[in-house]
Structure 1
Amino acid sequence: MRKITAGSFVGKKAWDALDIEHIEDASIRLHWTDSPYRWHVNDGAEVFVVLDGKVDMHVRNNGHEEILELVVGDIFHAACGDEHVAHPQGVVRVLVIEKSGSV
């Protein structure tokens, strides 16, 4: 057993992660970042929970882009094949649950 305080985790570079657990074929990781990720499509579902800060999640559906504002406590779910990119507004910490090895 261990206690993890999300607010104390600081990465050395954008999207650094602290591996928390692997359950069957899923990884649970705490990410720290202050820079956008990149447009991507996961090869499985992704759950993205904002623990600290604010994130603008850009999503594309049928060529149409939408921006979802995520704040502390908000959860974003991307199904397999959903195109998206996270744009943090300052420093953020997010919990990401996804298929192990996913981008």
Structure 2
Amino acid sequence: MMDDRPLKALIPGGSSVPVLPAHLIYKNAEGGDRLMSYESLSEGGFATGSMLGSGGFIVYNDTSCMVRNTWNFSRFYHHESCGQCSPCREGTGWMEGVLHRIETGQGRE
């Protein structure tokens, strides 16, 4: 890690796969070793796993703001949506708005 900062999280397959928090990078939820393989990374599904995807690793240290980074990703996917399906066409816009409100201190339950 740059400047010896603590590892916070890892996205092992590019911006469209689930984030692995630091405690789930080396060990899966059951405490077994997590390998950098498609099978090992998917253990636990979206709750405790991720996907290898293209292998485009994104690494976060303890100074990274996960809300700001997720907002940035949602802005990208909202802009790049082809608009063919409702969850993507509508959902990414809603997600972008919610994350923007949280980032600017205007979040609500």
TM-score (norm. length: structure 2): 0.25
**Which protein is richer in strand relative to its size?**
1
Q: Which has a greater percent of helix?
A: 2
Q: TM-score of the superposition, structure 1-length normalised?
A: 0.26
